[in-house]
Structure 1
C-alpha cells in the first residue's frame, strides 16, 4: 500500500515539473505583433433561436395533464313574459284616381251652342291599339246688330291604329273635317238689311287626310312621318298637300350629325280670282336638308348647322335655292337658376289654303298662295328657376321675313259674288321685319294649383304695305288651374290682344277709290270654368266665355258673341 502511494506521488511530481517547463518555453516564442481583424462578426436574425415554450424534460417520469370536464346542470324555468309583435307605422295616403281610356263630353249653352267631344282608345293586344276622336262645336248665332246670319259649325274626325314593337313603333291615322262659316261682316251704315237679304254668305270647308309615322330603336334612321291632305270648299276650290319628314343620326368619324330631310308638295286651284273669272292655280314643291352637329362641353351646349332648301314653282316654272343658318346655343350660368340661350335660324315656310282658313275662317276663295322666305330669326334669352315651384323665361328676337302673308280686308267691288261686299279677307305678301320682347312665368303653388303668365310686345316694319296688316302690337295671356278638393275643380284663362291695323277700300265708280287705314281696338277676354266630380266616372261642368262682355272685333266688321254661358257633363269609361 505504501509502495503504491509513493509511485502515485512521484508521477504527480513529474507531471507538474513538465508543465512548468512547457510554460517557460512558450513564453519565449509568442509573437507580440498586432493582429488586424479583417471581417468583424455581424450577427443576423438566422443566428437567433426560439426558446421552446415547453422544454423537454429529462425527468425519468413525465406527468400528463388531467382532462377537466365541465358540466352545466340546466333545468327549465317557467316565464310569463310575452314580447309584443312589431307593427309598421301607418302612412296616410290618398287612393289613386281611377284612370279610364275613353271619355264622352256634351254641353249646351247660350247662342244655341253645342259642344261635344268623344275620345276612344282600345288595346287589341300588348302591342296594338286602335282609337278615335270626334269633336263638334256649333252655334246658331245671334250677335246684336249683325245684318247677316252668324251661325257656324266645326266638326273634326280622326281614327288611328298604333303598334309598338321591340325595335320600332308605328301608327297610321285617317281624319276628316266639315266646317261652315258665314261672311257676316257687312260694313254699316254703308249696307243695310235690303242688301243683306239678297246675299247668301255661307262658306263651307271640307277635307280629309291620311298619315302616319314610324320610329326606330338603335338605328341610324330615327323616325319618318308622312301626311297627305285634301282640302276644298263649296266654291270649287281644292288643294292637295303631301309632306314627309325624316330624321337620322349620320355617323362621321367618331361624331354623329343629326340630319332632317323635308319633302313638301302643294298644289291647288280656285275657280276665279277676286276681280275676274280667271282660274287661279298654284303649286310648289320644295326639298330641304338640315344637318346639325351638337357640341356639349361642361355647361355649354352648342348646335352648329345649316338649312338647305330647293323650291320649284310648278305653275310658273321658277326654281330657287335657299341657304339658312341653323345655330343655337345655351349656357348654364348658375346651374338651373340662370341659363342663357340664343341662336339664329331660318327656313322656307309653305303656306296653304288650309292654314289660311284655320287662322281666319272669313277668307275668300280667291287667294294667292306662295311660300314665305324666313331669312333669319335671331333670338336671345334667359330662363331658369326662381324656386322649385317657379320658373321663368325672358326673351327677345329680330325676325326678317320675305313675302310674309298678311290678311287684309278685301276691296268692296259689289260684284256678283257674295263675298265682294268688304265682308271677306284676302292675302297680300310683303317683306316684314319684326322686333319682339317678351317673357313667361310658370308657378306651381302646390300640387293642386298652377299658374302661367305670358306676354309679348311687337314692333313691325313693312316694306311695301302701309302697315303690317292685322298683326297685334301686344299679346298677353294668363292661365290658371285649381283642384279645390277631391270633387271641385276650377280654371280660368285671360287674353289681351293689342291694336291691329286694317284697310277699308271702296272700289267703285261712284265713291272715291281711296283706301283708308282702320285701327281695330284692343280687347280683353275672360274665360272661367268650374266643375264637380260626382264620382270616378261622372263629372259636370260650367263655362263662361267673354265674361268682360266686350263685343270686340277680332277682324274688321266681325264682332264676336258677347257673354257666353255653357254647361255640360263628362262620362269616363272603359270597354
Structure 2
C-alpha cells in the first residue's frame, strides 16, 4: 500500500511541476540521429551511464565520449527555431531495444513511423539502418488553404571497432514537404492556392577516433547536399583533424599533467539561388587551433587560439554585383577551472570564432525562408564568461554561468513584404508576405545560463534550465525572433519494475519582437497594394507542456502515448504561423 501511495505521489509531483509552464509552445520532429561524440553541459548520473561494449580502453576511460545512437521521435507539429524537438519519450534499457519499429496515429491526421535495425558482424563491425516519418493534415479549421506537412528520413550507418580505434560512417536522406501557410496580411483569391515548399538533403559523415591520444587523435569528414522546390542548390564539406599529445608528466610536479592539441579544419559552403535577386555565395575557411592544457586533479588551465583564413565570394545576378573578400582572423581561447571540491568548481574564460552560415542551417532554425538568401559568416570577436558548477553527492548536478561578447554579422530573421504589389497578380507560394529573410547586424550580447539535474530516487530524474540573452545592435533597436528568456523543466520516472516509463517536458519563452506588414488597396490605383511596415510587432511568449507514457506489455512489445500542446493554445512561432492545438498520439512498438 505504501508503495502505491509513493508512486501516485511521485507521478503527481512530476506532472504538476511541469504544469507551472503552461501557455504551450510547439516542438518539432528532429530527423537527425546523432552519431558523433557529444558532450553534455551537465553529465548524467554516473550510475546511469551506459558503457559501450569494447570501447573505450583505459587511455580514454576517464572521459568517454558517447557514441550511442539517439532516437528522437516526434514531439509536435511544425518546425520552429526556438525549440528543436525534445525527446521526452521514455527509454527501456534492454539490449534488444537497439532494434525496434514503432507506429503511431493521432488527431490532426498525424501519422508517425519510426524504426531502427542493426546487427554486429564479425570483427566487431556493426551495420544498421533507420527510418522516420511524420505527417499531419495541418490546421484545416483555421486556414482555408493548405497547411499540411510531412517529414521523412532514411539513413544507414556502419561502426567498426578495431585495435587502434573506432571508425564510424553514416549516410542519410531527409525530405521536408510543407506549405508557406502563414498568410496574415491578405486573403488568397482561391483556397487551392499553391503554397508548397520542399527541401531535400543528403548527408555523408565519417569519423575515426584513435584510442590513444598519441599525435593523431581523431579525423572527421562531413558533407551535405541540399536542394529545394524553387531551384536552390547548396553543397557543404568539412574536414577536421585533431593532433594531440596527452598525459605528459612533469618530473618536478608529480600531480601536474599536460595536454597539447592542434586542430586543423577546412570547410567550404557553396550556395546558389534561382529566385528574385538570385544570390550566390561561396566560402572557404581554414582554421588552425593550437591549445595547451595543464591539469592538477580536477583543476586545469587551458590556453589556446584560433587562426582563421576566410575566402568569401558573394554575387547578386539581378544587380550584377560581385564582392570578393579575403580576411585573416585571430580569436583568443582560454579557460581556467579551480576545483575547491566536487561540489564547487569555479571556472571562467574567453572564446571566439567564425561560423559559416548556410541555407541548410538557416532552414533548421526557420523553414519558412524565401528561397533567396544573403549568406555571411558570423564572427564572435570575443566572449568572456565565468561560472560555477558541481556535483553534490551524485544527486544534484548544476552549472551556473554568465557572459558578455562582441559579435559581427549576428544572424536573425525579418518578415518579408510582398515582392509584387499587383492586386490580381497570380502569386507564387512565397509572395503573400509569408516568408522571411536573413538579416545581419553588429553588436554585443549579454547572457546568463543556469541548469540543474536532480536525482532524488534511482528511478526518478528531474532537470531544469534557464537561458537569458540580451542583444544590443548597432543598427537595429531590437533583434527579431530571439526571446529574452528561455526555460525548460522536465522529468522522467519509471515504475512497476521499469515496465511503465513516464516523461514530461515543459518549455517557456518570453515575447519576441518582429516586423510585420499591413496591406491596403491604393485609392488612386485600385489594382495595386500599399504596404505599411510595423517594425516593433510582437509575437507572444509561450509555455509548452508535453507528456509521454510507455508500458512494456512484453519484452518485445510495448504501447505508448504522446501528448503535445496539451493546453490547446494555437500560438505563433513566426508571424502568421499558428501551431497545432492539443495533440495526442498513440501507438505500438515492437522490439527485437
TM-score, scaled to structure 2: 0.76
Per the alignment, do residues 514 and 140 of structure 1 end up closer, same or farther by CA in structure 2, a change over 3 Å counting?
closer
Alpha-carbon distance in structure 2 between the residues aligned to 1:554 and 1:510: 26
Q: State the distance in 2 between where 1:565 and 1:555 align.
A: 23
| CA distance in structure 2 between the partners assigned to 1:566 and 1:253 by the alignment | 56
Hey, what does 1:529 align to over in structure 2?
Answer: 548
Q: Report the CA distance shift for 1:369/1:97 in structure 2 as closer, same or farther (over 3 A).
A: closer
Greater relative contact order structure (CA < 8 Å, 6+ sep): 2
Match of 1:380 in 2: 386
**SS of alignment partner, residue 122 of structure 2:** coil
Quote the offset at 1:387 in angstroms.
3.4
Cα distance in 1 for residues equivalent to 2:449 and 2:95: 40
The alpha-carbon distance between structure 1 residues 432 and 420, as it changes in their structure 2 partners (threshold 3 A), is farther
Q: Secondary structure at the match of 1:553?
A: coil
Give the Cα–Cα distance (whole angstroms) in 2 for the partners of residues 250 and 148 of structure 1: 61
* Correspondence for 1:485: 496
Which residue does 1:318 correspond to in 2?
Answer: 325
Please tell me whether residue 260 in structure 1 is matched to residue 259 in structure 2: no
Q: In the TM superposition, what are the counterparts of 1:41-52 in structure 2 within 5 Å?
A: none
Residue 98 of structure 1, CA deviation: 5.2
Distance (Å, rounded) in 2 between the aligned partners of 1:132 and 1:98 = 17
Where do residues 141-290 of structure 1 align in structure 2 (5 Å cutoff)?
141-142=138-139, 144-187=141-184, 190-192=185-187, 194-197=188-191, 199-218=193-212, 219-249=214-244, 256-273=259-276, 278-290=277-289
Deviation at 1:359, TM superposition (A): 1.1
Write the deviation string for residues 117-142 of structure 1: whole angstroms up to 9, x where unpaired.
Answer: 11111111132121111111111112
RMSD between superposed Cα atoms in Å: 2.0
Indicate conservation of the 8 Å contact 2:556/2:591, yes or no.
Answer: yes
Give the Cα–Cα distance (whole angstroms) in 1 for the partners of residues 275 and 299 of structure 2.
55
Alignment correspondent of 1:115: 112
Range with bigger deviation, 170-179 or 349-358:
170-179
**Are 1:260 and 1:291, in contact at CA under 8 Å, matched by a contact in 2?**
yes
Q: State the partner residue of 2:571.
A: 552
Q: Specify which of 357, 362, 379 is matched with residue 356 of structure 1.
A: 362
Change in 2 beyond 3 A, CA 1:409/1:256: same
CA distance in structure 2 between the aligned counterparts of 1:100 and 1:298, rounded to whole angstroms: 38
Q: List per-residue Cα deviations over 1:483-503 (Å, max 9, x = no partner).
A: 021222211100101110000
Report how far residue 404 of structure 1 moved.
Answer: 1.1
Deviations 1:399-429 (A, max 9, x none): 3221011111111334643212111111110
The structure with the larger Rg is 1
Distance 1:152 1:529 in 2: 23
CA contact (8 A) 1:324 1:347 kept: yes
Structure 2 unmatched runs, 5+: 1-92, 251-257, 315-322, 422-426, 523-527
Q: CA contact under 8 A between 1:143 and 1:561: conserved in structure 2?
A: no
Distance 2:224 2:441 in 1: 28
Match of 1:511 among 527, 530, 542: 530
Q: Distance in 2 between matches of 1:203 and 1:260?
A: 39
Taking structure 1 as reference, are residues 413 and 137 closer, same or farther at Cα in structure 2, changes over 3 Å only?
same
Q: Distance in 1 between matches of 2:409 and 2:189?
A: 36
Partner of 1:297: 296
Q: Is residue 106 of structure 1 aligned with residue 100 of structure 2? A: no
CA contact (8 A) 1:250 1:259 kept: no
SS at match of 1:290: strand
How many angstroms does 1:214 deviate by? 1.1
How far apart in 1 are the matches of 2:395 and 2:259?
36
Distance 1:512 1:362, change over 3 A: closer
Shift in Å, 1:224: 0.4
Is 1:228–1:243's contact at 8 Å kept on the other side of the alignment?
A: yes
Instruction: State the shift of 1:197 in Å.
Output: 3.0
CA shift for structure 1 position 299: 5.2
CA distance in 2, matches of 1:162, 1:391: 32
Task: Say whether residues 1:338 and 2:355 are aligned partners.
Answer: no
Structure 1 equivalent of residue 318 of structure 2: none
Moved more, 375-384 or 296-305: 296-305
Distance in 1, matches of 2:102 and 2:220, equals 31
C-alpha deviation, 1:511, in angstroms: 2.3
Q: For 2:140 and 2:547, how far apart are their aligned partners in 1?
A: 21
Q: Residue 136 of structure 1 aligns with which residue?
A: 133
CA distance in 2, matches of 1:378, 1:213: 31
Counterpart residue number, 1:434: 445
Change (3 A) 1:298 1:129: closer
Structure 1 position 476 matched with structure 2 position 473: no
2:439 equivalent to 1:445: no
The alpha carbon displacement at 1:298 in A equals 5.1
Residue 167 of structure 1, CA deviation: 1.3
Please, which of 503, 508, 512 is the counterpart of residue 500 of structure 1?
Answer: 512
The 3-state SS of whatever aligns with 1:555 is: coil
Show the counterpart of 1:542. 561
Q: SS state of the match for residue 111, structure 1?
A: coil
Greater than 4 Å deviation, 4+ residue runs: 250-256, 506-510
1:126 alignment partner, SS class: helix
Can you give the 5+ residue segments of structure 1 that lack an aligned partner in the other structure? 1-95
Whole-Å separation in 2 of the counterparts to 1:256 and 1:566:
50
Residues 530 and 100 of structure 1, relative CA distance in 2, 3 Å threshold: closer
Deviation at residue 253 of structure 1 after TM alignment:
12
Query: Does the 8 A contact of 1:524 with 1:550 survive in 2?
Result: no
Map Cα deviations across residues 13-48 of structure 1 (whole Å, 9 max, x no partner): xxxxxxxxxxxxxxxxxxxxxxxxxxxxxxxxxxxx
Deviates more, 1:121-130 or 1:252-261: 252-261
Give 1:402's aligned residue: 408
Query: What's the CA shift string for 1:444-490, capped at 9, x where partnerless?
Result: 12121100011122222111123111100110101110102122221
Size of the aligned set, in residue pairs, is 470
Q: Secondary structure at the match of 2:369?
A: coil
2:145–2:192 contact (8 Å) kept in structure 1: no
Secondary structure, aligned partner of 1:354:
helix
Instruction: Tell me, yes or no, if structure 1 residue 422 matches structure 2 residue 421.
Output: no
CA distance in structure 1 between the aligned counterparts of 2:121 and 2:391, rounded to whole angstroms: 43
Deviation of the 1:100 alpha carbon: 4.1
* Partner secondary structure for residue 330 of structure 1: strand
- Following TM superposition, by how much is the alpha carbon of 1:295 offset from its aligned partner in structure 2, in angstroms? 1.3
